[in-house]
A and B are shown apart, each in its own frame.
Chain A
Amino acid sequence: MSNGLTLQADLCLNCSPINGRVMTACSASHGFQMAPSQDPLYAGLGQAIRIATDLLAALIVGGALGWICDTYVLDSTPWGMIVGLLMGIVAGMRNAYRSVQRWPKAERP
């Protein structure tokens, strides 16, 4: 999905240069390959969904860990939750940054 048609053709299970008809059928299928992730609108939408939940989930986990620390472990209300939320923000940013870093070149905005 990222390295263009040349790699795709190598990977294709039934591409064979001897059979012209199979070849055309194959390139036709690659033109329409699982459409949504190829379409720029849907690719962008997918990336947006990923980033948004990356940020949110780390925040939830950080806050929850802080809250657990506050109520069950240390009795340090509200400091555990404050520190946890701050760390959650940092971790969320880091996760989001990491997933952007990993996008194949073709999909990068």
Chain B
Amino acid sequence: MEESPLHQFELQNWIPISLGGLDISINKAVVFMWIVVLVAAVLMVMAGSARKLVPGKLQSLAEMMVDFIRSMILDTMGKEGMRFFPLVATLFVFILFSNLIGLIPGSYTVTSQIIVTAVFSFLVYGLSLIVGFMLHGAKFLGILVPPGTPGWLVPLMIPIEIISQIARPVSLAVRLFANMTAGHVMLAVLFSLTIGGGLLIGWLPFAFTVAIYGLEFGIAFIQAYIFSILTCVYLGDAFHLHGHDEHAH
């Protein structure tokens, strides 16, 4: 029987639980989210427990990752951004591990559910708004009028800036979700072509499956990187109001 390429994203309730009308059933996505958290936590604790001067393989991988996130934060937010290091690092590690674990055949990609990515992105954006209003008060509304806007353009700029501000969490959520979903649909379509093609022509889509799989491996890193660097950028915008001009050069 032919399976739809979207079948892999369907969720069945494995253990139906209902709490006061709220559906909190355990399904595949929930289980895989636990697995991702478990794998990431165990690997990181294992990497952190050795603390040798000359690091082993796992420790140097973890140090590389910490160093990478650290320089990302310092580049975009500066020194005061380091207090968000736990948040950014958690997002990076969680997204990276769920993307990578999702690439194992038969498993589930947690980030291919838009609700997961949307919760992350609205959390990040909400946090940046809170930080901005806490630091700058009502002056934070000045992000709606970019510096150097002529007076007669202000009534036009404000709605445009409101749209572009709302678009930030939306694009953050849609980008991760769409990339993971599209990649897995593409893999499913190509692999079903391989099975349908048989030995005569099936090698061709199979070669593409392997190539796309390699690309998806890179995409898993890129998406984690993009999500966390945009987290830094949005939080940094809240820190330095109109500060992006200095970063431009």
Tell me the A residues contacting B by CB distance below 8 Å. 1-3, 7-8, 11-14, 19, 21-22, 25, 29, 32-37, 39, 42, 45-46, 49-50, 53-54, 56-58, 60-62, 65, 84, 87-88, 90-92, 94-95, 98-99, 101-102, 104
Contact = CB atoms under 8 A, between A and B. Distances in A.
Contacts of B67: 8, 11-13, 29, 33
A99 B244 CA distance: 10
B64 interface: yes
Contacts of A13: 63, 66-67
Interface string B47-58: 000000111000
B188 interface: no
Given A91-B164, A94-B161, A95-B167, 12 more contacts: A25-B60, A34-B65, A42-B221, A45-B218, A50-B226, A50-B230, A57-B174, A62-B163, A65-B166, A88-B167, A91-B163, A99-B233
A29 B227 CA distance: 23
Interface of B: 53-55, 60, 63-68, 70-72, 74-75, 159-161, 163-164, 166-168, 170-171, 174-175, 178-179, 218-219, 221-223, 225-226, 230, 233, 244, 247-248
B175 A58 contact: no
Contacts of B226: 46, 49-50
B175 A61 contact: no
A58 B167 contact: yes
Contacts of A39: 218
Contacts, number: 125
A87 B66 contact: no
A25 B64 CA distance: 11
A34 B166 contact: no
Nearest to B221: A36
Contact of A56 (B65, B171, B225): B171
A25 B54 contact: yes
B171 A57 contact: yes
Contact of B68 (A22, A33, A61): A33
Given A7-B71, A33-B68, A53 B221 contact: no
Contact of A91 (B54, B64, B167, B218): B167
Contact of A1 (B55, B75, B167, B222): B75
A45 B222 contact: yes
Nearest to B222: A46
A42 B60 CA distance: 23
Contact of A53 (B53, B164, B174): B174
Contacts of A22: 53-54
Contact of A49 (B72, B164, B222): B222
B18 to A, nearest CB: 31
A99 B171 CA distance: 13
A90 B221 contact: no
B71 A54 contact: no
Contacts of B74: 11
Contacts of A33: 64, 67-68
* Residue from B66, B218, B247 having most chain A Cβ neighbours under 10 A: B218
B244 A36 contact: no
B163 A87 contact: yes
A102 B163 contact: no
